[in-house]
């Protein structure tokens, strides 16, 4: 590639008529020399194909591939928080894990792109909590001495802010961690946040980010005084998060409530039920029979707080739409097998859930029925 300085501006001609800053040229050089070899080796076989939902490496030449990668939706390169880029955390994935050297090369390139784009703000370094040891629930219901509720203060992430708290119940599985009642509580100034990323922090060794990066599309904007908002449905199983490890929570953005032209607060990353017919035909009866005695019971606030299916025994579409909306928020669309209503009652999982199916076959029958609706919702996203 022939390069030439353009006048005294500090710009570089890339030989194709496009002028670049020194930072832009450095980023493109790093992409060609470091990032693309890693992507060719570890990613291209699946991500440069004909499936548009994952083909973020399509392109006839390295710069076309780079452009596709940088603009792909949903976002896989995060210039505001490079280490939380899905290209590094990899999301729900059947392909090989990145080697440490490969991840380092990709991060070096993404950081150079950040510099070239002159991205400002806190970036990764300050938008994370200090590592903390979660209190584990081993018996009882949330709030019992044996089932404490974790409250993580994030006020230190914004200077002079009244703050907010992330709350959750943490249950140990054999090698994983299962969180329920996961929500954000706003303070006296409200809270705005984007893309929370949970990270397991061993005493020795490298931090382990959530491999699903399940909250990459979450944005929450809460006014002061708003009720706590669930994060991503309120429950999640974090695979390979050893229960004895500390946790840290990273964010793309944290701020006070943002007044967006009188639109009020809200949450994105979850939408209403789109497949009511499939819900009624496949999921309604199993949920009513196996979950309704607790999760539709007006006297069981803990169960309804985790998943409220009040009205699941109704016959009118308006009521069942509300029930379907509620259950849909508990679907993990990145890996539907990790949805809370599948993990909690599964006898093969070590969750502290009051109800477990008496045998694996009973659970498998329940899951097979409900999963017809789940997959229909996933396809309809």
What local confidence, expressed as pLDDT, does residue 94 receive?
Answer: 60
The structure tokens listed for 373 are 């609706």
**Four-residue CA torsion sign, 176, 181, 187, 192:** positive
pLDDT, tens digit, 9 for 90 and up, residues 162-213? 889 999 999 998 889 999 899 999 989 999 999 899 999 999 888 888 877 7
- Percentage of the chain exceeding pLDDT 90: 50
- Percentage of the chain exceeding pLDDT 70: 88
Task: For residue 35, give the DSSP letter.
Answer: I
What local confidence, expressed as pLDDT, does residue 64 receive?
Answer: 94
What local confidence, expressed as pLDDT, does residue 133 receive?
Answer: 97
pLDDT, tens digit, 9 for 90 and up, residues 325-372? 889 988 888 778 888 899 999 999 988 888 999 999 999 999 999 999
| pLDDT top residue among 270 and 49 | 49
The structure tokens listed for 106 are 């990709």
What local confidence, expressed as pLDDT, does residue 27 receive?
Answer: 94
What local confidence, expressed as pLDDT, does residue 171 receive?
Answer: 94
| CA dist., res. 360 & res. 337, Å (int) | 15
Region 138-154: what's the mean pLDDT?
93
What local confidence, expressed as pLDDT, does residue 278 receive?
Answer: 96
Exposed e or buried b for every residue in 213-230, given b needs 16+ CB within 10 A? Answer: bbbbbbbbbbeeebebbb
pLDDT at 14 over 70: no
Most confident segment among 22-26, 59-63, 170-174, 364-368: 364-368
What local confidence, expressed as pLDDT, does residue 371 receive?
Answer: 96
CATH architecture of 150-268: Sandwich (2.60)
Place of tokens 């200077």: 159
pLDDT at 43 over 60: yes
| pLDDT top residue among 3 and 376 | 376
What local confidence, expressed as pLDDT, does residue 359 receive?
Answer: 96
pLDDT, tens digit, 9 for 90 and up, residues 69-105? 999 987 888 887 777 688 887 655 566 778 888 988 9
pLDDT at 124 over 70: no
What local confidence, expressed as pLDDT, does residue 269 receive?
Answer: 53
pLDDT at 152 over 90: yes
For residues 126 and 255, the answer to whether their CB atoms sit within 8 Å is no
Domain ranges of the chain: 4-116, 150-268, 276-379
The structure tokens listed for 345 are 């009652």
Q: Answer yes or no: pTM beyond 0.75.
A: no
pLDDT, tens digit, 9 for 90 and up, residues 210-238? 877 788 778 999 999 998 988 987 888 89
Average pLDDT, the chain: 86
CA-atom Rg of the chain in angstroms? 23
Banded model confidence at residue 9, pLDDT cuts 50, 70, 90: very low
| CA dist., res. 376 & res. 381, Å (int) | 9
Banded model confidence at residue 285, pLDDT cuts 50, 70, 90: very high
Torsion of CA 247, 253, 257, 258, to 10 degrees: -170
């Amino acid at each position: 590639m022939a390069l030439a300085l353009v006048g005294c501006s500090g710009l570089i001609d890339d030989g194709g008529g496009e002028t670049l800053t020194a930072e832009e040229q450095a980023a493109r050089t790093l992409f060609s020399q470091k990032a693309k070899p890693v992507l060719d080796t570890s990613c291209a076989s699946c991500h440069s194909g004909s499936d548009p939902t994952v083909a973020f490496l399509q392109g006839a030449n390295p710069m076309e591939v780079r452009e596709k990668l940088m603009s792909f939706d949903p976002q896989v390169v995060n210039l505001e928080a490079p280490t939380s880029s899905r290209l590094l955390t990899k999301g729900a994935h059947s392909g090989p894990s990145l080697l440490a050297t490969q991840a380092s090369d990709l991060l070096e390139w993404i950081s150079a792109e950040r510099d070239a784009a002159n991205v400002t703000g806190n970036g990764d370094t300050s938008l994370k909590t200090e590592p903390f040891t979660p209190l584990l629930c081993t018996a009882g219901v949330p709030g019992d001495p044996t089932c404490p509720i974790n409250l993580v203060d994030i006020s230190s992430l914004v200077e002079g802010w009244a703050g907010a708290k992330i709350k959750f119940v943490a249950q140990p599985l054999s090698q994983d961690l299962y969180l329920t009642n996961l929500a954000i509580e706003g303070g006296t100034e409200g809270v705005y946040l984007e893309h929370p990323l949970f990270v397991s922090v061993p005493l020795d060794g490298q931090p382990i980010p959530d491999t699903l990066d399940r909250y990459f599309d979450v944005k929450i904007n809460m006014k002061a005084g708003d009720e706590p908002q669930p994060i991503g449905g309120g429950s999640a199983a974090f695979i390979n998060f050893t229960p004895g490890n500390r946790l840290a929570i990273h964010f793309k953005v944290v701020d006070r409530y943002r007044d967006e032209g009188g639109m009020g607060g809200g949450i994105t990353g979850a939408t209403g039920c789109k497949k009511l017919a499939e819900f009624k035909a496949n999921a309604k009866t199993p949920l009513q029979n196996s979950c309704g005695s607790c999760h539709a019971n007006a006297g069981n606030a803990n169960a309804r707080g985790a998943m409220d299916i009040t009205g699941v025994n109704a016959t009118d579409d308006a009521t069942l739409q509300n029930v379907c909306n509620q259950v849909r928020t508990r679907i993990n669309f990145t890996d539907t097998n990790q949805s809370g209503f599948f993990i909690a009652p599964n006898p093969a999982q070590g969750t502290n859930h009051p109800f477990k199916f008496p045998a694996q076959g009973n659970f498998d029958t329940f899951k097979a029925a409900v999963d017809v609706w789940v997959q229909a919702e996933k396809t309809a996203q």
